A and B are shown apart, each in its own frame.
Chain A
Amino acid sequence: MNDTSALVIFVAAVFTNNILLTYFLGMCSFLACSRRFETAIGLGAAVTFVLTSTTILNYGIYYGILVPEAPLCAMDLTHLQYIIFIAVIAAFVQLVEMIIERFSPRLYHALGIFLPLITVNCAILGVALFMVTFQFTLFQAVAFGFGGGVGWTLVIVLLTGLRQKMGYANLPAPFRGVAITMIVTGVMAMAYMGFAGMVSIQ
């Protein structure tokens, strides 16, 4: 059992164990949506919201149903965790999309394209799987999910800023696009390594 405080885990998830720069999760939408600030922040906020909520849901389902000593079901169903987690995520995103469409068409049009994209964002499923691997309690899992979202948003906003600056640079043709983005992200990852030892997630 892990008795690191939830606050420490939050800080760790944002800096020392950043889900994008340390665990490489959430790269696809990171590359596609980092051209304008509004897009980046909007996507980051959506990811954070979905991440925190689905972490709570998946925690409940995993410890309430899937594990052998669960109160609701006495069988060991942990081998179904991948399929159940992704189903929960897909259903939740679908539900959120329907609610937003019903209650705020304006927000729906602003966010619209992002929500289905989030379902296949590996960060969401990845955080759920890490929650199981690290054996977090509920509060720790929430801190990890929320921190993960905040950390992801931070990095995508930073990269957006960098890409806007790079728009004025005279890059050799082969490097434009994905290649330079990867290299710049690598340098950012190096900078983030400076946070190591600040807090520990265990």
Chain B
Amino acid sequence: MTENTDKLEQERNESWRAELRNSMPMKDRVAIERVKMNEIPPEERIKSQTCEVNTGLTEEQAVLEAKRCMDCPKPTCIEGCPVNINIPKFIKNIERKNFAAAAATLKDYSSLPAVCGRVCPQEKQCEAKCSYLKMKKEPVAIGYLERFAADYERTSGNTQIPKINAPNGIKVGAIGSGPSSLSFAGDMIKLGYDVTVFEALHAIGGVLKYGIPEFRLPNAVVDAELDNLARMGVKFEKNFVVGRTASFEDLKEAGYKAFYVGSGAGLPNFMNIPGENLNGVMSSNEYLTRVNLMCANCDDTDTPVMHGKVVAVVGGGNTAMDSVRTAKRLGAERAIIIYRRSREEMPARLEEVKHAIEEGIEFLNLHNPIEYLPNAEGRVAKVRLQKMELGEPDASGRRKPVPIEGAIEEIDIDIAVVAIGVSPNPLIPACLKGIKVTRKGTIEVCEETMQSALPEIFAGGDIVRGGATVILAMGDGRKAASAMHDYLSKK
């Protein structure tokens, strides 16, 4: 999907861009300090599960931050973005205060910019490749600016609906309603297809709804994007488990010509250590689903969630961070991360770790649970921890944690949340005869087209990658849409 450099060059040479570049000396641009995101103070925000921590940039802040971007002749930032957003183009539109054009630029590449601006691990992607880093300065706040432009459009009340081709009457189905299927659906509806998204749960959005908490990604942001898709003509079928409610054969009989499988990696991993099935030990998926999908923390809902004074969360990724910060918001006196590597190696977004520290989350790094111990009623009361040290680098390049012999300690806990990763949901692969799956249970596809061994089945997102990011899942959906269009056009 890399755009050819000629087009980038051409756009960069448009007169308004050239004028903008010349309107301010480079040394003045680089002298500007990187903008600080406006935030709700920690002591206030931990009182609510739904209060968004980041409140966004003001117009002045955004325009000033946009001025920092040097509109580089070789914009390496674009290479860092998995969907190759034309970053300088959207940022320069912010600088000249044409926010609608900035939003439109984003929409050319990403169907969920308001989401990605909030949840992308920018420090590993676009911002990691910004030229500022070579000057030992902080990168341009690409994520904040992306969020600004997308929010501006959403709150302006006149969201642009992209141009849609005349309906071609060809039915295609997307399985799952996470970011991957949603971006697939957005592209296919634009091409004129008759698109239906099937979702097993009673809410649309996948992890964006049941996993990522509202203090990081408000439901209203996701719902606005879903609204757009519905206005464009995408149909949604909730409470529909493909392979169960109806089989692929049933759907083919009903006229569906091809499918995109975006069923995610919903199966929670456990460590298989003694005591893991005690009451009070649960997966992060269970904990977060109860709170985020079922609003178990609200007084007027029926779903319960356990409350505890001391909540231990095992893991170091975004899911662990979301769980531990949720525990804090549900009133835990101590909310503790237990992670077997050091803090530098935690895969979570940097910003989440920073926010967690501000909120008083405790970090027990280089500790690994080996057993949960019950109280008299059979509920978890203690966790036994093996202390670790860092050894040689492993296959991932990170230094491998190794147990320190005999260094074992126990801490008192009321709840343990296991957030050590997920595996692909096996349902779909199991009901597609002839599909190829890897040892890990992910669906094998052609990297270029996302087409599986069954020509009418395409797949992407976590079911192919086994747990990745929102933007990668979206990129897959777009690639699959364009390849499926080719495939169906030739048929």
Q: Does A pair with B?
A: no
